[in-house]
Amino acid sequence: MAITEKQIIENWNQWGLVNKIPIKFKGSLRKRHMTVIKDTETRSVWRIDVPLSDGSFPVILKIYKESAFNSKQIESLLYKNLKDTEINEFIPVIYDIRIISAVNETWIFMENLKVMNKKQDFSPEDLYKIVSRVAQFHAKTFENQPVANLITSIVPGFQTERRSQHLESLKTHLQQARKDSFLQPLINQYCPHLFELAELDLDFPEVIQSGMCLVHGDLHLGNICYDEKNKNRIKFIDISAATFSPCWLDVVKTVEFTIDNRPEWADISHKIRRKSIRIYTREMNQRGISFTEDPGRLYRLAYLMTVFEKELRRHLMFILQGETRLIFPQILKKISLFSEEVDLI
């Protein structure tokens, strides 16, 4: 069911949101102050521009609807439990969280932030700042930190039933790809060992033993934000896919997804990757966390762990359904390259 402006106004008034945002607002909230950003079967996202005498104060409202009520509880629970800990510097300021049990909805009112994927002048230097920030986030939620027990009581671990299902689904798609007139030649050209690699145990012990922390799980630039007044104040949003997992999984998602979607970086991708690994390792070392294995090897193994479960599986699924995926050859090339560099082929 679609969320309406009338519902938002009623709940805003009933819950006293005017007293929970960091401004003085004496007027009334009207429909014209609201803009829907996204409205799907599972969630609705709104921007509420609270009127001031000299402008407006933006508030983001995120609503998980009944169809996503159970599967998306992780995000609201993390926000609720971490907002008063030192981890709050990495998540949006939360003004209020309400669970409406009668209709199985979760309403989250939070600060408005600028999203990195809309930053026009985004550069490798911006990526390095993000990697540094990811390391700080990981170090504060690492397995030896006091907050780790709280986190593990909320989020699932790494080796979930869902991961197993995804890897089984991948094998099904690969069997279909063997018979596909488009995919089979493409795989043979860019990654001829793909089918053999998919049969390996992709839970590499070196990566798992390198240390666990709160892993965002979907850390692309659309879920990384900055404050326009302080661009070093980087925060992470949409943490509904979070797990307590090997730390390197977030790093490879952020770096490789960014590289893949910026063809102009192709010639310097090796340099960007090396520097990102170096920055992440240095930041973790400064916080008392060191890696016994070569960080470059951990990075490549972590990429293979996540790409087979997620990106490769999704791309195969979409292509088999007749959709075009332009970066698919890049993913195949990278799987082949990284597998060779860590002696899997």
CA distances from 323 to 41, 98, 177 (A): 22, 39, 14
Three-state SS at 70: coil
pLDDT for residue 158: 86
pLDDT for residue 222: 95
In order of their start, the domains of the chain are: 5-112 (3.30.200.20), 115-341 (3.90.1200.10)
pLDDT for residue 1: 66
Phi, psi of 57 (to 5 degrees): -120, 115
pLDDT for residue 324: 79
Between vectors from CA 172 to CA 166 and to CA 177, what angle results, nearest 5°?
120
Which residues is 111 bridged to in the sheet?
A: 59
What whole-number distance in Å separates Cα of residue 56 and Cα of residue 81? 29
**CB-based contact 79:242 (threshold 8 Å):** no
Which helix H or strand E contains 97, and what residues bound it? strand 94-100
The structure tokens listed for 116 are 């990195």
pTM: 0.92
159: DSSP letter? S
- Ordered per-residue pLDDT tens for the chain, 345 residues: 688 999 999 999 999 999 999 988 777 899 999 999 999 888 999 999 999 888 899 999 999 987 766 667 899 999 999 999 999 999 999 999 999 988 889 999 999 999 998 888 899 999 999 999 999 999 999 999 999 999 999 999 987 788 889 999 999 999 999 999 999 999 999 999 999 999 999 999 999 999 999 999 999 999 999 987 777 789 999 999 999 999 999 999 999 999 999 999 999 999 999 999 999 999 999 999 999 999 999 999 999 999 999 999 999 999 999 887 778 999 999 999 999 999 998
Three-state SS at 85: coil
Which amino acid, one-letter code, is at 341?
E
The burial of 182, by beta-carbon neighbours within 10 Å (0-12 exposed, 13-18 middle, 19 or more buried), is given as: exposed
